[in-house]
Structure 1
Amino acid sequence: MADLLKVRLLVGYLGEIDQFGWWKTSFYQPASQAFLAPIFPRTGHVAKYHGVAEAARLVHDESLSAGSYHLFRLPEELEHDLHTALAEVEDPEIQDASIHGKDAAFERLREMGDKSISPPDGPISLGQINVLRTSHSIVQLAGIYAASFQRGSKAFPYFTRA
């Protein structure tokens, strides 16, 4: 679960407007802390996560067919597990993917992924959702997103219902 959470956080951060611009949010920019801190003094990292996840979910949903799962729309039990894992994390590097900037975040994502992947643009099927918990699927996800960011293209890996 920790690796899936890391991939989601890294892709969420890297997809923001000031990095690769896949969605038009800036939750992970330093200035966002000023408006989040008064409302979420202890859980600002959770608020950032949910804001970015929702923006990313909308972009992915527009590019994929209804009923498919993707990194930002998972079965309810997985969503709950990710939320719980994030709420329990005390590591600032996991809480805030932007802590070291775009290049470091991109490198972390690239290191987690399959470097041999050269994905086409658009939707990419990774099989049924029940394979997502395998390390191979998480490595594929990270590799597809890293390669897409590097090439300046947009690929949307997805899973079908089991």
Structure 2
Amino acid sequence: MLGTRTAPTAGKRSLVLAIAAGAITTGAALSMSAPAAHAATQTTAKTATSASAQSQPGAREVESCWFSGTFWWCKNRYGAPVYSRGDNPTVVGYMYTTTSWFKCRKEGRRSNNGPHPNRWEWTQADNGVWGWMSDGDIYSETNTLPDSPCPQ
């Protein structure tokens, strides 16, 4: 039947919508200045990275610990236990803040399945007792912390 049109199938509709969305996106990007387009791309990438990190079990935030005053500050899990030193560590306190300070880091016995499974950070629990927090309870990247001087 020459001259008659058939309704597009679902697959064709999806293709048409995808092409239209691409054209709109391309047009928007072309109408932006180079710095604005770069900023939009970076914002989208950060949002995608953040969403991806939050959706993966055990994933860490991209942000590293930062130095301020005399301590390194990191984001950590609320209620994270702080352990004593020695071969048989016991819980000596807890961290009831989600941003806490740390003095240093060291590699020791395995404590978690995160990116640094043998790493521990030296800190003071909220009850005032000094001890080690497992790196698995810290969301920030801890490579920035010094590895000495740390108590043994």
Measured against the shorter chain, the TM-score band is: under 0.3
- Between Structure 1 and Structure 2, the one with more strand by share is 2
Structure with the bigger RCO (C-alpha within 8 Å, sep 6+) is 1
Greater C-alpha Rg: 2
TM, length-normalised to structure 1: 0.25
TM, length-normalised to structure 2: 0.26
